[in-house]
Every structure is written in structure tokens, then in C-alpha cells.
Amino acid sequence: MLTKRIIPCLDIKDGRTVKGINFVSLRDAGDPVELAALYAEEGADELVFLDISATQEKRKTLVELVHKIAQKINIPFTVGGGMSTVEDVSRLLNAGADRVAINSAVVYNPDIIDALAKKFGRQCIVLAIDAKIMQDKSWKVHVMGGKKATQLDLYDWAKEVESRTTWRWRNSLYFYEPRWYQKWFC
């Protein structure tokens, strides 16, 4: 039997933790450093930090905030948002992230998968797919924090990404209406 794990996700916008429904009507939910420390103290198994506006705003993830959180927690720490290069990933891992989650960068440059795995090891890379169901009932891959649709079919893209890898994947499926996330953890 699989063990249940508690993995809270801090959605970050403008340096603050925010909550909303489908990233709409966001409200301030507190200081991310304090919340991360609280989650770790309360027994969370892992923590995910998503800078939900970094890619859309064409800026990098808040590295200093990642560093502050990493200093306060003792659980695995995954960071996503705003990465598009090997150098971006290097900065986040050096700031204290254990893994990085990438989506838009892979859609725009699928070859980055192999470059990241070669440089940092596959255990550090989480490939994410954001998708939404369209009016025609098809699922389309979205980028920019789920705000921009692509023409990529969700299932075809998942197969394409998997075919580009040379290692075995462990699947973890998350469903948040109306967004669908499929993440492969190396």
C-alpha cells in the first residue's frame, strides 16, 4: 500500500503567499517564510513553492525568498515558476531548492529536459504539465501559469515528453478543477 504524504504548496505572488480559486480572486495568505516553517514543524513531508506570476511577468523566481525558506525548513523543497535556462535552475538549487518544477520552458524548448538532467541529475527535475479542458472537450496544454493555451493536446504532449526521456518515471496525478496537472517525478 502506498503511503499518504502531505505536500503543501505555497503559491507566491509579489513575494507573498496567496490563495484563490484557479489563480483568480487572489488574497494574501501570509508570509511564505513563516508558513513554510510552520508546515515543516507541523509534519509536512515536503514543500512546493510556485512563483505563480514569474513566467507571465517574464521575470525569474525570487531566489532570495527561496534561500530564506530553505534556511527555515528541513524537508524536501521543490520550486517552480520563471525558469527557462540551466543557469536559472542552478541559481535555485544553489539557493536551497532540492528540486525544480518546470512547465513553460519545456513546452518552448523540450531539449532542456536532457540538459537539466545531465547537469543536475534527474532527481532534481520535476516536469509539470498544466492543462485545461476546452469547449470542444479536448484537453490543451497551457503555459504562463495556466493563462495561455497552446495547440498541444495534453495526452500527446505527455507521450512526447515521456518519449524524450531515457529514465523511468514515477507518476503522481493531481486534479484541481478545472486545471489538470500531471507531474513526473524522476
Task: Please tell me which residue in 51, 111, 130, 153 is annotated as part of the active site.
Answer: 130
Active-site residue flag, 98: no
β-bridge partners, 129: 182
Distances (CA, A) of 26 to 4, 18, 22: 29, 6, 9
Cβ-based burial of 22 (10 A; exposed 0-12, middle 13-18, buried ≥19): exposed
* The one catalytic residue among 11, 45, 98, 111: 11
Q: Would residue 11 show up in a list of annotated catalytic residues for this protein?
A: yes
Sequence-separated (6 or more) residues with CB below 8 Å from residue 87: none
Could you please report the per-residue DSSP string of 95-131?
A: HT-SEEEESHHHHH-TTHHHHHHHHH-GGGEEEEEEE
What does the alpha-carbon distance between residue 80 and residue 12 come to, in Å, rounded to a whole number?
10
| Residues carrying an active site annotation | 11, 130
